[in-house]
Amino acid sequence: MSGAPLRTPDAQWSDPDCPVARTLDLVGDRWSLLVIRDAMDGAASFTEFQRRTGIARNILTDRLRKLLAHGVLVQRTAPSGRRQGYALTDAGRALFPVILTLRQWGEQHAFAPGEPHSVLVDRHGNPVPDLTPAGVDGALLDSDTTHVQKTP
């Protein structure tokens, strides 16, 4: 279930050469990321997405269409056979590290010390460790140790 490629020739890119900008153009608004988050947490129907996020129906319809058009979600007939449901494609599932990093940033910077919040745990109930990017030599990477190299 890989879905359609994320490249769309008719898209209006905010910065056509930048992968970060293109990603934000595709999935970077609040509602799209919350739909993706909830799909990762098992939501599959319009009603579930609306209930979990509180998003207005017209906005949810727009975001679902966009995520379908860009191959992040696919529609499938629900097990009941009466309705269409939504499922993440390979491209949608590949956003897991993005959602995880946003979550971990939020845990560290969006809550006061000791303020309660949800915790992501693995299948054994252990908190998911922080993602830490490392180079091929194992050295930790951050904005001070990396730079953007333009391609011709």
Token pair of 54 as six digits: 């509180």
On whether the CB atoms of residues 24 and 33 are closer than 8 A, the answer is no
CATH number at residue 98: 1.10.10.10
Residue 43's Cβ-count burial label (10 Å; 0-12, 13-18, 19+) is buried
- Is 147 inside a domain boundary? no
Residue 3 has what pLDDT? Answer: 46
- Is 126 inside a domain boundary? no
Q: Among residues 6, 56, 15, 66, which one has the least CA distance to residue 36?
A: 66
How large is the angle between the packed helices 30-40 and 46-53, nearest 10 degrees? 120
Chain-centroid distance of CA 74 in Å reads 14
Task: Provide block-wise average pLDDT over 10 residues at a time, the chain (152 residues).
Answer: 49 87 93 97 96 97 96 90 92 97 95 94 95 95 94 82
Question: What's the domain range around 35?
Answer: 19-109
Could you tell me the CA-to-CA distances from 54 to 5, 65, 68, 70, 102 in Å, in that order?
Answer: 29, 18, 20, 23, 20
Residue 8 has what pLDDT? Answer: 53
Beta strands, E only, the chain? 73-77, 84-88
Domain count, the chain: 1
- Is 44 inside a domain boundary? yes
